[in-house]
Amino acid sequence: MLSPFADVSPKDLSPLDAVSATDADAIGDLVDRARGAQRAWSELPAYERAARIAKVKDRLLDRAAALAALVSREVGKPEAEALLGEVLASADGFDFWCGSIEELCEPQEIALDKLTYPAKRGTIYREARGTLAVIMPWNFPVALPLRTLVPALLAGNAVVFKPSEISPRSGQAVVDLFAGLIPDGVLTIAQGGGDVGAALCSANVDLVVFTGSVATGRKVATACAERLVPCSLELGGKDAAIVLSDANLERAAQGIAWAALTNAGQNCAAIERVYVERGISDAFIARLTEVVRALEPDRDLGPLTTHAQQQTVMRHVADAQASGAEVILGGNAGEDGYRYPATIVKVTSDDIDLMREETFGPVIAVRVVESASEAIALANASKYGLTASIWTKRASHGESLAHELRAGVVTINNHAFTGAIPAAPWSGHGQTGAGITNSHLALEALTRPRFVLVDRSSSKRELWWYPYTPALMKIGLAMAALRSGSTGLLRKIGAVLSLLGAFPRRFR
């Protein structure tokens, strides 16, 4: 069988180490083994799990240079980007989750009305969901898996993790960080392509956490629907940046250049569309062009990770040009099959793939608009809705406009970096999917609530138990009258009298 794995570095086409694929037929056994290990792991106190996983963070940091070099070689991003975005940002996630998991999973007693529910105590426990499949893409091959693995494991789950076939070595390096610190079977890697991912979704897992493309996300959702298990989907994006005429020009140009081009634009939250108000558009485009022109290939901007990605970017730019868009900078693909220069395209319509489909490359499409409301309408017209940004010196105006945007994250005068803030939820609208990564809200998927009610009542029966006598009907109607805000005083008095008469008959 043909190897599913990427085998050359996009940086210099040098060969990458061989990787063995997991047999798709063996996935069921891997999941069973994980399930076998999960219970004892979940029964450890949360502080014990946190103490072990905190040591994983130290390993991550101790291996920072080697990890950055590996990621850079495997997927092509500059080492500085790998160090900051994959290693250091992930360390923050360990700190947040190890420091908060006990409190976030603390049992919570609910308030119960003593008259209606006498002698009862109800407690919500947040328990591990069980055995999870975690299926990840290649664009952040260390940071993205860790964003889910750390809280998932801390919450007491076992995980079978499938990295992308484009970044299997980085995936293995992530799993190696945990080796010996958590029990065998609690975290297992499954290496391979779509067949292995599909086998994992159909195996006996309790939740699939998936990050990747819309097309694959749909298959994952279908497989989960067949098994009636939940899935958390974080899919594509087509982020918009809105530059208002009162923006800080320099900050907007620098920030948009970074947020569009980091990781060669292969970021779900890359700025792919810029809507700039006419009043500042000439100055903005001129300054953006200068900033982007000053970037150094390799130091600042790596190659695309795959040849297929280069083809998509070429197609989107060529289509845009054919429709009359103006390429202001860049636009010529490298001959190695991976490189693509930082490119700025001025467009006049959104009716082209460059403005509608995910490009996932180093291309900034800029469109001049007449007003903030036009920009917001265009930004919201996308089928995606991950993050968006507004650039303005009137921060509170930007903040109020934020609520008009159809996006899971809105940043004023910044973009995309909040994925690295572990306390901030990361989620989307539309085809971006409804999964939530980061923050206490991520625990909604990674755990399940168990409600336990203890009844210390010694009365022989409850009000609502059998038999359904006329006295019970009277009590019910009196209670309805008493609880309704629109019942008049006289009717309320009547209801109280009715209750006083019916109660002794009910319990006689």
Catalytic machinery residues:
234, 268
- Residue closer to ligand NAD by CB (options 165, 277) is 165
- Residue closer to ligand NAD by CB (options 220, 375) is 220
Mark the segment that binds ligand NAD (CB under 6 A) among 70-78, 196-204, 278-286, 290-298: 196-204
- Which residue among 211, 263, 289, 392 contacts ligand NAD (CB under 6 A)? 211
Asked if 30 is part of the footprint of ligand NAD (rule: CB under 6 A), the reply reads no
Asked if 74 is part of the footprint of ligand NAD (rule: CB under 6 A), the reply reads no
Sheet containing 271-277: give its strands across: 326-329, 343-347, 363-369, 271-277, 239-243, 387-391, 409-412
Whose tokens are 């809705």? That residue is 385
Query: Which residue type is seen at 122?
Result: G
How many angstroms separate the CA atoms of 143 and 86, rounded? Answer: 5
Asked if 212 is part of the footprint of ligand NAD (rule: CB under 6 A), the reply reads yes
Site string (395-434) toward ligand NAD, x via CB under 6 A: ---------------------------------x---x--
- Which residue among 197, 255, 303, 331 contacts ligand NAD (CB under 6 A)? 197
Asked if 90 is part of the footprint of ligand NAD (rule: CB under 6 A), the reply reads no
- Which residue among 77, 162, 339, 346 contacts ligand NAD (CB under 6 A)? 162
Mark the segment that binds ligand NAD (CB under 6 A) among 119-127, 205-213, 397-405, 483-491: 205-213
How many angstroms separate the CA atoms of 482 and 503, rounded? Answer: 15
**How would you write 180-218 as a 3-class SS string?**
CCCCCCCEEECCCCHHHHHHHHHCCCCEEEEECCHHHHH
- Residue closer to ligand NAD by CB (options 197, 303) is 197
Asked if 164 is part of the footprint of ligand NAD (rule: CB under 6 A), the reply reads yes
Asked if 235 is part of the footprint of ligand NAD (rule: CB under 6 A), the reply reads yes
Mark the segment that binds ligand NAD (CB under 6 A) among 21-29, 178-186, 231-239, 324-332: 231-239
Mark the segment that binds ligand NAD (CB under 6 A) among 5-13, 18-26, 133-141, 393-401: 133-141
List of E strands, 212-353: 231-234, 239-243, 271-277, 326-329, 343-347
Cβ within 8 Å of residue 347, ≥6 positions away: 320, 325, 354, 355, 365, 366, 367
Element containing residue 365 per DSSP (H, E): strand 363-369
- Which residue among 93, 237, 302, 361 contacts ligand NAD (CB under 6 A)? 237
**CA torsion 376→378→379→381, rounded to 10°?**
120
Q: How far is the CB of 231 from ligand NAD (least distance, A)?
A: 10
Asked if 137 is part of the footprint of ligand NAD (rule: CB under 6 A), the reply reads yes
Q: How far is the CB of 418 from ligand NAD (least distance, A)?
A: 11
275 by DSSP, 3-state: which? strand
Cβ within 8 Å of residue 342, ≥6 positions away: 257, 261, 292, 295, 301, 329, 330, 362, 364
- Residue closer to ligand NAD by CB (options 53, 201) is 201
Asked if 341 is part of the footprint of ligand NAD (rule: CB under 6 A), the reply reads no
How many angstroms separate the CA atoms of 403 and 381, rounded? Answer: 15
Q: How far is the CB of 227 from ligand NAD (least distance, A)?
A: 13
**Count of alpha carbons within 13 angstroms of residue 431, beta-carbon side:** 19
- Residue closer to ligand NAD by CB (options 72, 164) is 164
Query: Is the preceding omega at residue 449 within 30 degrees of 0, hence cis?
Result: no
Residues that bind ligand NAD (CB under 6 A): 135-139, 144, 162, 164-165, 193-194, 197-198, 201, 211-213, 216, 219-220, 234-237, 268, 358, 386, 428, 432
